[in-house]
Amino acid sequence: MRRVPAGNSGVLKPISARIPLPGPFPQELIDKIIDELQQDRLGLKACSLISHAWRPRAMYHFVGSFFLLNLRSHASKSGKMVRSLPEFIRFSSPPPCLASLITQMALNCLRKFGLLQDVMSYLHLYPNLRELSLEDVGFSDFSPPKIRTLSKALDRSPPPPLRHLKLTRVYFSGCEQFLSFISMSHFNEVFRIEMHDIAYGERPSKKTRYRDDRACSDCKTLAIEHRPDPGSDIPSFTMSLARREGYQSAGYPGIDIVGVLGESVTNMIVEEKRGTDFKVDSHLCPSLYRLTWTFHDIESPHVPCQLKEFASLNNLTHFRLGIKVDDEIIFHVRSIEQGDINKTMVTNLDKALAPVSSMPSLQKLTLPDFLHHSGWLIKSGKSARLVPEC
């Protein structure tokens, strides 16, 4: 606040020192600002109160994800929190202004079939729901006909067209139950399936925190996508699943899903599980364009064999090599840099990568930053497509 003379009276008249706000921002700029704050809930709340132009985008990020945890299996939680699941099930008429904003839903610890069926039967109330995540669900505890029962229940209340299905620590009795679940007609429009620690066998006890897990799992993470170019004749996931008759299970969910859906896969992300050598036959994925593969043991003889297999992917345009960095790898790299030991590990990796880096179709080869040490990659480093990981 400052004062100026008011006419000839000599009296000081107060005026405001506030700087006037500029005119309305373009909506594109408003959306960009809010998108940068999508992980800041206090910031999103503040943005939603600025004006009508700011509110829709802020609310989209603020309530776009819904996480439901069945807290009956967590005895340490309060009684009020434990009642969250039945309250959700009774919540048969969510406010349309909020229900339409929810695009992602995570359902955790639904270990009884009745609860799982009840909750999934309410998905139709969220018209813009596109991503469904299930975590810590033991389908192997349910009898085989339960998948058909669940499908019939969803027929009565069809969920919205889901695009992304994410499964984390979900256990199936075997290949047929697993494929029956993902081939339900309610997942016909799914183009991304993401799996983390999926296994065949009994769900381990929660009391041991999964230390007694003896189920058959072959990789830590496997994500597959179907994103063909316009006009492409690559079959959809639904078409490949419909043609699975006669498929013989390999005994592991990761290999099974690639064996059945490989022809439809255009993008794939794999992180190997420690102690296992997850292998993919390149002939199963003729349309694979983008591949990210993270090895746990870079010195395993499995690594050059798998890289050689990748060189047969005739349509591969982008390949990212990941290495699970632990104390042993850090020590090894530092020892090479200091000249304390030879570079056998790097030399072998360089030779194994050479066929991949020289593939005619390849546009970009991304490697961990620590491998871009001067003089390390001789053969594969000749490729102009080689770039460090950001």
Tell me the pLDDT of the chain averaged across its residues. Answer: 79
Which region among 54-63, 78-87, 283-292, 335-344 has the lowest average model confidence (pLDDT)? 78-87
Which region among 76-80, 222-226, 314-318 has the lowest average model confidence (pLDDT)? 76-80
pLDDT computed for residue 11 by the predictor: 53
pLDDT computed for residue 38 by the predictor: 79
pLDDT computed for residue 320 by the predictor: 92
Task: Calculate mean pLDDT across residues 311-338.
Answer: 72
- What is the distance of C-alpha 9 from the center of its chain? 72
Is residue 350 pLDDT above 50, yes or no?
yes
Task: Give the three-state DSSP class for 379.
Answer: coil
pLDDT tens digits along 70-106: 544 444 443 343 345 555 555 556 666 677 888 888 8
CB 204 within 8 A of CB 215: yes
* pLDDT level of residue 66 (50, 70, 90 thresholds): low
pLDDT computed for residue 59 by the predictor: 76
* Residues belonging to the chain: 390
Q: Which structural domains are found in the chain, ordered by start?
A: 47-204+213-223 (3.80.10)
Task: Calculate mean pLDDT across residues 364-371.
Answer: 79
Task: Calculate mean pLDDT across residues 253-274.
Answer: 93
pLDDT computed for residue 258 by the predictor: 94
Is residue 237 pLDDT above 90, yes or no?
yes
Is residue 212 pLDDT above 70, yes or no?
no
pLDDT computed for residue 383 by the predictor: 55
Is residue 68 pLDDT above 70, yes or no?
no
Provide the 10 A C-beta neighbour count for residue 137. Answer: 26
Nearest to 324 by CA among 223, 169, 219, 171: 219
Task: Calculate mean pLDDT across residues 228-248.
Answer: 91
Task: Calculate mean pLDDT across residues 168-193.
Answer: 94
Task: Give the three-state DSSP class for 317.
Answer: coil
pLDDT computed for residue 279 by the predictor: 83
pLDDT computed for residue 23 by the predictor: 59
pLDDT computed for residue 101 by the predictor: 81
pLDDT computed for residue 71 by the predictor: 47
Highest mean pLDDT among 54-63, 146-155, 343-352: 146-155
Q: Which stretches of 41-122 are DSSP H helices?
A: 41-48, 55-63, 79-82, 84-90, 96-99, 113-120
pLDDT tens digits along 100-134: 888 888 888 888 888 889 889 988 888 889 999 99
Higher-pLDDT residue of 170 and 48 is: 170
CA trace torsion 377, 289, 312, 189 (10° rounding): 140
Is residue 390 pLDDT above 50, yes or no?
yes
Task: Give the three-state DSSP class for 100.
Answer: coil
pLDDT computed for residue 183 by the predictor: 95
- In whole angstroms, give the CA distance from residue 69 to residue 354: 47
* pLDDT level of residue 50 (50, 70, 90 thresholds): confident
Provide the 10 A C-beta neighbour count for residue 64. Answer: 15
- In whole angstroms, give the CA distance from residue 294 to residue 325: 10
- Per-residue tokens: 309: 């297999």
Nearest to 50 by CA among 89, 24, 18: 24
pLDDT computed for residue 297 by the predictor: 79
CB 277 within 8 A of CB 302: yes
- Per-residue tokens: 385: 């497509």
Highest mean pLDDT among 38-42, 115-119, 313-317, 323-327: 313-317
β-pair partners for 196: 168, 221
pLDDT tens digits along 136-162: 888 988 988 899 999 999 999 999 999
Which region among 51-55, 145-149, 181-185, 204-208 has the lowest average model confidence (pLDDT)? 204-208
pLDDT computed for residue 75 by the predictor: 43
Provide the 10 A C-beta neighbour count for residue 42. Answer: 8
pLDDT computed for residue 33 by the predictor: 87
